[in-house]
């Protein structure tokens, strides 16, 4: 395992969505350097086969390891549920995964009905099925594939009429079943929270995994004694293998020191 504390944290996702995780990590761990990999060319992962997802995760991992990352955050629910076990078995550095926070929602629901908005690849995975089987049997999960949402977000259409229409289509049936918690099972979806909250109302709690992933990252760095040392603010390299315009716009006002560039990988 790499032990140089100055090495960066690596983060990858099937596009720009994982920047919602990156932001939580950077906020909690401001001294850490990061390298973020946006595999937008192959987004969304949720519509690909398990074999395709694993191959892409291996490619992303090897890119980040080649750039001396000391820990890798798989900032994608679909990638985690389909590839995290393989990655942990075959590479020597620590990996942090992410999956829909249904266990947290199960602790907070009062109606015993939880909505889960996620990709097909996440909802159909063995890991999601195993996690769902462990929650209280009195709790009903209302699962909904958010087909098309990732593509719209990748295109920068966060507030478009097309995005709003899709959200209404997906969320209204959940509301009809009296959900009081909505789990966002894709790292792209937190960028839609303002729209989602308007649709579902204040009585529905929206739950995503970003803060929990950042806390877990901090804990793993400390456990392996590889956290950054000193007082210098971290620097952040962001790579996309597609047009970087949406990534640039998304982070245009972010106060951190960012280098965003297009690179094929």
**Does residue 176 fall inside a structural domain?**
yes
Give the pLDDT of residue 69. Answer: 97
- Domain of residue 15, residue span: 9-98+210-262
Please state, in angstroms and rounded to a whole number, the distance separating the CA atoms of residues 244 and 40.
9
Give the pLDDT of residue 2. Answer: 45
**Does residue 1 fall inside a structural domain?**
no
Domain count, the chain: 2
Out of 2-6, 100-104, 145-149, 250-254, pick the least confident. Answer: 2-6
Q: Rounded mean pLDDT of the chain?
A: 93
**244 and 174 part of one domain:** no
Given 207, 222, 251, the domain boundary residue is 207
**221 and 201 part of one domain:** no
Out of 35-39, 67-71, 213-217, 240-244, pick the least confident. Answer: 240-244
Query: What mean pLDDT comes out for the span 57-86?
Result: 95
**19 and 87 part of one domain:** yes
Please state, in angstroms and rounded to a whole number, the distance separating the CA atoms of residues 142 and 102.
11
* 169-185 residue pLDDT tens: 999 999 999 999 999 99
Give the pLDDT of residue 3. Answer: 54
Checking if the pLDDT of 246 tops 70, the result is yes
Give the pLDDT of residue 1. Answer: 47
**Does residue 4 fall inside a structural domain?**
no
* 2-26 residue pLDDT tens: 457 889 999 999 999 999 999 999 9
**Does residue 3 fall inside a structural domain?**
no
Give the pLDDT of residue 117. Answer: 97
DSSP the chain: ----TTSPEEEEESSSTTHHHHHHHHHH-TT--EEEEE-GGG--GGGS-HHHHHHHHHHHHHHHHHTT-SEEEE--HHHHHHHHHHHHHH-SS-EE-----HHHHHHH-SSSEEEEEE-HHHHTSHHHHHHHHTS-TTPEEEEEE-TTHHHHHHTT-TT-HHHHHHHHHHHHHHHHTT-SEEEEESTTGGGGHHHHHHHH-TTSEEE-SHHHHHHHHHHHHHHTT----SSPPPEEEEEESS--HHHHHHTTT--SEEEEEE---
Question: What residues are annotated to the active site?
Answer: 76, 186
**188 and 113 part of one domain:** yes
Query: What mean pLDDT comes out for the span 96-108?
Result: 93
């Amino acid at each position: 395992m790499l032990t140089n504390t100055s090495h960066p944290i690596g983060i990858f996702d099937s596009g720009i969505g994982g920047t919602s995780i990156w932001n939580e990590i950077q906020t909690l761990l401001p001294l850490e350097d990061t390298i973020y990999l946006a595999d937008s060319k192959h987004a969304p992962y949720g519509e690909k086969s398990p074999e395709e997802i694993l191959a892409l995760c291996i490619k992303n991992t090897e890119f980040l390891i080649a750039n001396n990352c000391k820990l890798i955050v798989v900032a994608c629910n679909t990638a985690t549920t389909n590839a995290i076990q393989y990655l942990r078995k075959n590479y020597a550095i620590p990996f942090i995964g992410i999956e829909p926070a249904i266990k947290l929602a199960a602790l907070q629901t009062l109606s015993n009905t939880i909505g889960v908005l996620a990709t097909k690849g996440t909802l159909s995975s063995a890991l999601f099925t195993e996690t769902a089987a462990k929650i209280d049997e009195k709790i009903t999960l209302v699962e909904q594939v958010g087909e098309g949402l990732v593509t719209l977000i990748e295109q920068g259409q966060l507030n478009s009429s097309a995005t709003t229409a899709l959200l209404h289509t997906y969320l209204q049936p959940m509301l009809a079943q009296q959900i009081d918690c909505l789990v966002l099972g894709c790292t792209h979806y937190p960028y839609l929270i303002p729209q989602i909250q308007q649709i579902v109302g204040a009585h529905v709690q929206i739950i995503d995994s970003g803060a929990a992933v950042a806390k877990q990252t901090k804990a793993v760095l400390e456990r392996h004694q590889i956290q950054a040392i000193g007082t210098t603010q971290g620097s952040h390299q962001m790579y996309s293998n597609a047009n970087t315009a949406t990534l640039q716009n998304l982070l245009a006002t972010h106060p951190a020191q960012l280098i965003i560039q297009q690179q094929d990988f």
